[in-house]
């Protein structure tokens, strides 16, 4: 008989695991899959946070700013008329080197290229931006940049990205629930007789289901931590690449949505606990 082997194999199970769940619910499949879900969730969270940050910045930048483009010949006259408009706090010509720097990404360095004159208006607070735009457009040769609309559209895109991220999070949570349910069912199948015996010995449903729930919460939390460990360096690289472009400053540690990311392992544990608790609870209710 395989007695010595059997006897030694039993020792680690002494004590706290009467259902043998460490073996029935073992393996790396569930934690690995939950880890993959956590990775996707981290990306979605970072995407939502990034889109939110960008939208905020655009909104700030756009508030109370209007840019009017005029032919160089009429710059002086236009500037004077713009300054006279009600609601204008300040009207300044955008310096040529700044203009070139702003346009460089699109036009490249083209030294001889004639540039229009851009006049930047800062409005007094509570100014009627729409009325002002109309007045500015009436000045001969002036073209009012439709920056407001561009920002509105960009904001709409950012909102879309955020909404998509939340939908993704919902899908990820649903997949995680399904994964835990499948794993729980496998554990139930593997320990069916054990559970029935414990039930007949007077174990409460809550105790049995609680042991499953604790085990699955642990596996899910471990998986989520693993997924997060992979996600964080990736998110940092992404932030380092994207933030200088989007916000024109270097990336900082505070750019990652730490609070939301830190919620992932507890959220995974919670999903594992609740799903297993309900699944096992429902199964136990069929016993006499």
Q: Which stretch binds other proteins (CB under 8 A): 10-18, 90-98, 239-247, 270-278?
A: 10-18
Q: How far is the CB of 28 from other proteins (least distance, A)?
A: 20
Q: How far is the CB of 188 from other proteins (least distance, A)?
A: 15
Q: Do 221 and 30 form a contact (C-beta atoms < 8 A)?
A: no
State both tokens at 163: 């909404």
* Cβ atoms < 10 Å from Cβ of 104: 11
Q: How far is the CB of 272 from other proteins (least distance, A)?
A: 22
The burial of 274, by beta-carbon neighbours within 10 Å (0-12 exposed, 13-18 middle, 19 or more buried), is given as middle
3-class DSSP state for residue 286? coil
Q: How far is the CB of 176 from other proteins (least distance, A)?
A: 28
By C-beta, is 10 or 229 nearer to other proteins?
Answer: 10
20 contributes a contact to other proteins by CB under 8 A: yes
* H or E element in which residue 194 lies: helix 192-200
Tokens 């939950």 identify what position?
A: 34
Q: How far is the CB of 26 from other proteins (least distance, A)?
A: 12
Inter-axis angle of helices 264-284 and 205-247, nearest 10: 150
Q: How far is the CB of 23 from other proteins (least distance, A)?
A: 6
Exactly one of 2, 130, 245, 259 binds other proteins (CB under 8 A); that residue is: 2
Q: How far is the CB of 212 from other proteins (least distance, A)?
A: 15
Taking alpha carbons only, the member of 83, 78, 119 closest to residue 98 is: 119
The burial of 35, by beta-carbon neighbours within 10 Å (0-12 exposed, 13-18 middle, 19 or more buried), is given as buried
Number of residues that bind other proteins (CB under 8 A): 25
By C-beta, is 162 or 277 nearer to other proteins?
Answer: 277
Q: Which of residues 171-230 bind other proteins (CB under 8 A)?
A: 193-194, 197-198, 200-204, 207
By C-beta, is 3 or 126 nearer to other proteins?
Answer: 3
Q: How far is the CB of 207 from other proteins (least distance, A)?
A: 7
Inter-axis angle of helices 264-284 and 29-62, nearest 10: 130
The C-alpha atoms of residue 47 and residue 196 are separated, in whole angstroms, by 47
By C-beta, is 6 or 233 nearer to other proteins?
Answer: 6
3-class DSSP state for residue 176? helix
By C-beta, is 116 or 210 nearer to other proteins?
Answer: 210
By C-beta, is 5 or 249 nearer to other proteins?
Answer: 5
14 contributes a contact to other proteins by CB under 8 A: yes
Angle at 192 between CA 188 and CA 194, to 5 degrees: 115
286 contributes a contact to other proteins by CB under 8 A: no
Exactly one of 105, 111, 233, 288 binds other proteins (CB under 8 A); that residue is: 288
Q: How far is CA 145 from CA 37, 123, 124, 276, in A?
A: 44, 15, 19, 58
State both tokens at 174: 């649903």
In the complex, the residues that contact other proteins under the rule CB under 8 A are 1-3, 6-7, 9-11, 13-15, 18, 20, 23, 193-194, 197-198, 200-204, 207, 288
């Amino acid at each position: 008989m395989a007695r010595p082997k059997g006897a030694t194999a039993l020792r680690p199970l002494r004590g706290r695991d009467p259902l043998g769940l460490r073996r029935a619910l073992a393996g790396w499949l569930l934690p690995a899959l939950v880890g993959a879900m956590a990775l996707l969730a981290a990306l979605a969270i970072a995407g939502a946070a990034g889109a939110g940050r960008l939208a905020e910045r655009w909104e700030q930048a756009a508030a109370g700013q209007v840019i009017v483009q005029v032919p160089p010949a009429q710059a002086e006259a236009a500037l004077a008329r713009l300054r006279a408009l009600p609601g204008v706090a300040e009207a300044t010509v955008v310096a040529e080197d700044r203009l070139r720097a702003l346009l460089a990404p699109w036009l490249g360095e083209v030294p001889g290229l004639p540039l229009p004159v851009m006049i930047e208006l800062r409005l007094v607070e509570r100014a009627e931006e729409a009325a002002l735009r109309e007045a500015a457009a009436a000045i001969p040769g002036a073209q009012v940049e439709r920056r407001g609309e561009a920002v509105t559209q960009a904001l709409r895109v950012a909102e879309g990205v955020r909404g998509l991220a939340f939908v993704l999070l919902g899908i990820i949570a649903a997949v995680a629930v399904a994964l835990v349910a499948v794993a729980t069912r496998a554990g139930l199948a593997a320990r069916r007789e054990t559970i029935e015996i414990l039930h007949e010995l007077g174990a409460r449903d809550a105790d049995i289901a609680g042991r499953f729930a604790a085990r699955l919460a642990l596996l899910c939390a471990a998986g989520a931590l693993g997924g997060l460990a992979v996600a964080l360096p990736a998110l940092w690289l992404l932030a380092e690449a994207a933030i200088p472009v989007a916000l024109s400053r270097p990336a900082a540690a505070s750019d990652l949505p730490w609070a939301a990311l830190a919620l992932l392992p507890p959220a995974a544990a919670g999903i594992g606990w609740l799903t297993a608790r309900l699944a096992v609870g429902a199964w136990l209710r069929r016993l006499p």
